[in-house]
Chains A and B, each alone.
Chain A
Amino acid sequence: MLLQQVVNGVMLGSTYALIAIGYTLVFGVLHLVHLAHGEVFMIGAFIGLYVVLWTGGGVVPALVGALLGTALLGVLIELVAFRPIRARGGHFLAPMISTIGVGIVLQEVATRLFGSELVGFPHRLEPVTFRLGPLTVTSLQLLILGVALALMIALHVFVARTRLGMAMRATAENLLTARLLGINTTRIILLTFAIASALGGAAGVLVGLSFNAISPFMGIDMGVKGLAIMLIGGLGNIHGAMLGGMALGVIEVLSVAYLASSYRDAFAFAMMIAILLLRPQGLFGSAEAVESRV
């Protein structure tokens, strides 16, 4: 039974990891905590839902729609609420506070557009159950894990192997030096927002599929969880965020199975606070990375 719970946890954790990677990308490149990211994730879920309703149940169009739509939203957020503040070089917390404002606006607009109730997320997916010895895995779970892993691998290849990915790493390392070396950092920042938001939007669709319920308020909880994972994995560490997401998924599922189920979300936050206090560099981060980023 324990193994089955761990498998379920990894499935859940893979969507958490996607959200956390979005935070991590933006933080890694800009040292900005993007507090509207949870709302971007929520918008992604709704874009997915409407694509499903229009096209009649295709998961692939829903994912593509959410990826593109939220990438666009990310670009818009960067242009409207981030770039002008950076250009004026105000207080170091000003950009983050601005993203709080963006999140509040997105949530109210979504409430007006989509209503404030929980809505189902229909999909026409053959409900097949696979058995692997004592383990059972549904086709839906496999799809979610597959999409999440594919996106993570694509991101890894992009960041590690491509020229643009190298430029992004250089910008994260030192923005000024990167610019001196001829990298168009303005464009890299825009690209970072787009990729981070797209991953969040895809996670929105996956969460909608797995819980079969979405609401305009789902962004807050998931947003704080994503932040928790980013901290657990180590600020700005993409691989840490992947592992941290899986870890949180497993811990949550286990806490539901063996402890009090109604407090499952509280475990995530308690774990985050414990990590902040005991190991502020995260489980996979190094101490000097924190020193330079606080």
Chain B
Amino acid sequence: MIDPYTESVLIFLGINTVLALSLALPVSAGLLSLGQGGFMAIGAYASAALTTWYGAPFPLALAVGALLAALAGLAVGFPALRIKGVYLLILTMGFGEIVRIFFLNFEPTGAASGFGGIHQATTLTGVTVTVVVLLLFFAQIRGSRIGRALEALREDELAAEVMGIELTRLKLAAFGVGALIAGLGGALYAHYALFIDSAQFGFHRSAEIFIIVLLGGMGSFWGAVAGAAAVTLLPELLRVIQEWRMTFFGTLLVAMMIWRPWGLIGRPRPRLIPGTPDA
């Protein structure tokens, strides 16, 4: 058997991988979000309420939490059809803050004092199964029609539309499924942390998920997994990083944008015209 410490690190690795994949999907369609923490909060609170108050079985609570997050994702994703880039990033940031303020003031789930007394239901086996299923799903998508459509959308929206790709459906689906996965991650997190409060799902969380995905490189699922491993394991291996965790990753983010904006692994995409900056 593995010792409790290793087990907890592996569980957090799994949860971070789920969260990273939740952002990697919309990012692979060129939709950046700084609001994944909001979807995560919805999944976490909804599932915790179901298991704690109504004694619902964990898998059911997981599914309901994820679905509610997906509904929120569709509601946020709908405007995402009209706006992009910087606007979308600010909109999702605003959404994340609204969700945080909502749970900060929502009395039934403990408002500012948080929601405690959740049973532990997240196991290493459960997390592993979730991650494997998600990875299989992403591996299936990658070479498929949908995967190629996502890639086309990210590279050039107009050209993709001219090729007959349905932008509306694809964008909504990417955002909604991403939110669903974030909700799933939130539910897994709530049933392992056993105590949740609104501060855990604020801008910090969204930024951390964002960092994980960017470390691995935009638009690559395996990169997201590698990013999750780096963000989870590096602080465990090096005490200095543990103490200055956010400073380390913040600095890494700046350094990466200077020297390797395409991510730590992988190679830069060839430019259409050599010597010109990317559009």
Contact = CB atoms under 8 A, between A and B. Distances in A.
B90 A100 contact: no
A96 B98 CA distance: 22
B159 to A, nearest CB: 17
Contacts of B84: 294
B202 interface: yes
B241 interface: no
Contact of B97 (A97, A100, A102, A269): A269
Interface string B65-104: 0000000000000010011111101110111011001101
Contacts of A93: 32, 85-86
Nearest to A224: B97
Nearest to B199: A217
Given A80-B254, A90-B277, A92-B279, A294 B86 contact: yes
A273 B250 contact: no
A91 B262 CA distance: 9
A276 B83 contact: yes
Contacts of B210: 97, 100
Contacts of B123: none
Contact of B94 (A94, A96, A262, A273): A273
Contact of B89 (A33, A102, A262): A33
Contact of A81 (B98, B247, B254): B254
B170 interface: no
A273 B76 CA distance: 10
Contacts of B97: 221, 224, 265-266, 269
Interface stretch (A68-76, A103-111, A184-192, A239-247): A103-111
A227 B85 CA distance: 15
Given A33-B86, A94-B261, A272 B253 contact: no
A89 B274 CA distance: 12
Contacts of A33: 86, 89-90
Nearest to A221: B97
Nearest to A89: B277
A109 B251 CA distance: 12
A104 B261 contact: no
Contacts of B254: 80-81, 98, 101-102, 105
B91 A105 contact: no
Interface residues of B, number: 44
A85 B93 contact: no
Contacts of B94: 224, 227-228, 269, 272-273, 276
A101 B261 contact: no
Nearest to A109: B247
A139 to B, nearest CB: 32
Q: How large, as a class, is the contact surface on chain A?
A: 35 or more
A103 B210 CA distance: 14
B98 A294 contact: no
A165 interface: no
B158 interface: no
B246 interface: yes
B86 A100 contact: no
A44 B85 CA distance: 29
A280 interface: yes
Contact of B82 (A96, A98, A277): A277
A105 B204 CA distance: 12
Contacts of A92: 85, 278-279
Interface string B242-278: 0011110111111001100100000000000000011
B90 A105 contact: no
A102 B250 contact: yes
A266 B102 contact: yes
Contacts of A89: 277-278
Interface of A: 33, 80-81, 84-85, 88-98, 100-105, 107-109, 220-221, 224, 227-228, 231, 260, 262-263, 265-266, 269-270, 272-273, 276-277, 280, 294
Interface of B: 32, 34, 79, 82-87, 89-91, 93-95, 97-98, 101-102, 104-105, 202-204, 207, 210-211, 214, 244-247, 249-254, 257-258, 261, 277-279
Chain A to chain B: the 6 pairs with minimum beta-carbon distance, closest first: A101-B253, A89-B277, A104-B250, A105-B250, A98-B257, A90-B261
Given A97-B257, A105-B246, A276-B83, 16 more contacts: A92-B279, A97-B214, A98-B254, A104-B250, A105-B250, A107-B246, A108-B247, A227-B93, A227-B94, A231-B90, A270-B98, A272-B91, A273-B95, A277-B82, A280-B82, A294-B84
